[in-house]
Amino acid sequence: MEEAYFFMLSFLVLPFLYLIYNSFKSYNPPLPPGPIPWPVLGNFYSINTMDHVSLANLATKHGPLMLLREGLQYLVIGSSSTAAIEILKTKDRVFSARAVPNSVPLTRSEIDQLSFWADASCENLKNIRKMCRAELFSSKALESQELLREKKITEMVELLRTKDGLVVNLEKCVYATVFNMFANAFFSRDLVRLEEEGSDNPVKGLLRGIIGAIGAPNLSDAYPFLSKLDLQGVRKKHRELSMRVHALWEPIVKERRKRTRGGLSHQDFLDTLLDKGFTDYQINKLLEELVSAGIDTTTSTINRTIVELINNPESMKKLQEELDTEFNQGRRICPGLPMGTKIVPAVIASLVYFLDWSLPHGNDPAIYQKLRATSHLVEPLLLIPKSRKE
């Protein structure tokens, strides 16, 4: 009797187990090659810096599509233009979701309500992208910001002219110029001084801190069961930095809410957000994500182009072509690219047209080839300007 019972049970259970096994099999397609991971640790040892050079070295060994393990997480890295087109364009729908790093101090519902971290299929994100396209990045909006951009560039060139023959930190100067271009598009005023006292612009430190927190190797990402603990304090640090960034414009938002805009013809991005009924919290998050996504990308493209130009004037042409053709479709395509492609060539062209550049005595140009994992130059970009055109 017992035997018959056991037989019946096996008869029912085995097909069930087989179905489970099959479903696992079909959801686990073969993975790309990569360096052999250590148990539990994964490939932390071979990706200690994760900069472009170590990744390029790994790719020469394992191919343009490779697999790394960060703790318990899989990381697939595409490193050829064919892989990039496949991921960002051909299979764009499959790859349009984001793995949100644990350091982002937002709940899932906050992300879905108002954040570029939301899935591309999220209706709110589609609406934000649509609004930014219309109000910030459309030809009309960019044209209306044209005079302000020119003014900021003129101020930068004029300041550099006063430094004729002296060593300047060009990176710092470009950062303040681009930041104020954003500030003028958002609030119709500057937020930082072009010539800050001290070694660096404090705003740059805040935004770089946020980007660093997002990109930092984090135990909470590698081992999701630890996520609540925030052992490295990265989420806490991100939250604190966000609050300090919001404090830069909170008084402006407060003051603008009080103001009745009767008869005021100029409409900046803040006016648009207020007209659309955005809360202070929503304004803070949206502007923070726009400045952290837009300023570093733009300024590091400018700095690195200047470095290339110093080494090889042909590089400028190549880079412009790359900017012209960069990924023209897709759900995750950078919405700010129309703005970036206005700012980057205008700043570079002005720096090169109005000024000649040389390296401080004894500086080897190779020191400016070293980049951090976040693509920033390791060394401050110290150069000597010399006026060449009035």
Provide the 3-class DSSP secondary structure of residue 163.
coil
CB of 266 to ligand HEM, least distance (A): 19
Residue 200's contacts (CB-CB under 8 Å, 6 or more residues apart) are 172
Single-letter amino acid, residue 127: N
Among positions 207, 344, 355, 384, the unique one binding ligand HEM when judged by CB under 6 A = 344
Which among 12-20, 25-33, 292-300, 365-373 is the span making contact with ligand HEM, rule CB under 6 A?
Answer: 292-300
> What is the spatial distance between Cα 148 and Cα 191, in angstroms, rounded to a whole number?
14
Among positions 212, 335, 345, 385, the unique one binding ligand HEM when judged by CB under 6 A = 335
Looking up tokens 């209706």, which residue turns up?
Answer: 123
* x-or-dash string of contact with ligand HEM, 45-84, rule CB under 6 A: ----------------------------------------
> Which CB, 71 or 340, lies closer to ligand HEM?
340
119-178 residues in contact with ligand HEM (CB under 6 A) are 129
Residue pair 290/114 in contact by the 8 Å Cβ criterion? no
* x-or-dash string of contact with ligand HEM, 95-124, rule CB under 6 A: ---------------------x--------
> What is the spatial distance between Cα 285 and Cα 291, in angstroms, rounded to a whole number?
10
CB of 169 to ligand HEM, least distance (A): 21
Q: Please state, in angstroms and as integers, the Cα–Cα distance from residue 89 to each residue in 32, 102, 291, 331, following that order.
A: 20, 27, 25, 8
CB of 95 to ligand HEM, least distance (A): 8
Which among 186-194, 252-260, 290-298, 306-314 is the span making contact with ligand HEM, rule CB under 6 A?
Answer: 290-298
**Alpha-helical segments (H) within the chain:** 2-27, 52-62, 81-85, 108-114, 123-135, 139-144, 146-161, 170-187, 202-215, 219-222, 234-258, 269-275, 280-311, 314-325, 337-354
| Cα angle value 189/193/195 (rounded, 5°) | 150
> What is the spatial distance between Cα 34 and Cα 375, in angstroms, rounded to a whole number?
23
Any contact of residue 340 with ligand HEM (CB under 6 A)? yes
Residue 178's contacts (CB-CB under 8 Å, 6 or more residues apart) are 295, 298, 299, 302, 343, 347
Any contact of residue 337 with ligand HEM (CB under 6 A)? yes
Any contact of residue 290 with ligand HEM (CB under 6 A)? yes
Among positions 111, 339, 351, 383, the unique one binding ligand HEM when judged by CB under 6 A = 339
Any contact of residue 242 with ligand HEM (CB under 6 A)? no
> Which CB, 103 or 298, lies closer to ligand HEM?
298
CB of 293 to ligand HEM, least distance (A): 4
CB of 290 to ligand HEM, least distance (A): 5
Any contact of residue 332 with ligand HEM (CB under 6 A)? yes
In three-state form (DSSP H/G/I as H, E/B as E, the rest C), the secondary structure along 82-122 is: HHHHHHHHHCCCCCCCCCCCCCCCCCHHHHHHHCCCCCCCC
- The site for ligand HEM (CB under 6 A) is made up of 116, 129, 289-290, 293-294, 297-298, 301, 332, 334-337, 339-340, 344
